[in-house]
Amino acid sequence: MATRPVHMTAAGRSALEAELAELENVRRPEIVARIASTRAEGDLSENAGYHQAREDQSHVEGRIAELRAALRDAVIIEEGAPDGVARIGARVTVEDQWGRSTYFIVGPTEVDAAAGRISAQSPIGSALIGKRAGDVAKVAAPAGETTLKVVEVS
C-alpha cells in the first residue's frame, strides 16, 4: 500500500512526537487503570464509568495510530523560500480588499488558522503555491472568487 508523504516542519514533527509520547506514556496507562478499576465494580452492562473509559481508550488508540502514521510518512520541510517562490514552509504576505495578511503555508498536521498557519491543500494555500511577489492569486471561496496580490514571499 503506497503512502502519501506528510509534509511538516521540524517543529511540527517535534510537536507530534510530544503528543504521541503523552498519549502512550500518560493517557493510555491512565485509561487502562480506569478500565481495571471500573471492571472491578461488577456488572459492566450498566457501568457508565466503564463504558466511558472504553470510549476514551478507543479515541486515544485512534489518535496514536494517526500520529504514528503521520510520523512514519513525515517529510521534513525547510522553512523559508530563498528563491522567492511560495511553497510549503514559506511565509507569504498578501493584500486584498480588506488589507494585508501573512500566511505560513504548512502541511495538514500543522494547521492553525488563528495563527495564520494554513494548509497547502486549503483554497488559499493551493492558490499561493508557486507564486512570487507581484503575482496575483485567485482563490475560490464559498462567497465567490477572491483576488490576493502577493506582496512578499520569504
pLDDT tens, residue by residue, 127-144? 999 999 999 999 987 888
Residue with the bigger pLDDT between 113 and 17: it is 17
Q: Which long-range contacts (CB under 8 A, 24 or more apart) does 132-138 make?
A: 132/84, 132/85, 132/86, 133/84, 137/94
Does residue 148 contact residue 95 with C-beta atoms inside 8 Å?
Answer: yes
pLDDT single digits (tens) 63-104: 999 999 999 999 999 999 999 999 999 999 999 988 999 999
Does residue 53 contact residue 30 with C-beta atoms inside 8 Å?
Answer: no
Domains detected in the chain: 6-76 (1.10.287.180), 91-153 (3.10.50.30)
pLDDT at 49 over 90: no
Provide Rg for the chain, Cα atoms. Answer: 21
Beta strand 91-96 with 99-106 is antiparallel
Residue-level pLDDT at 1: 55
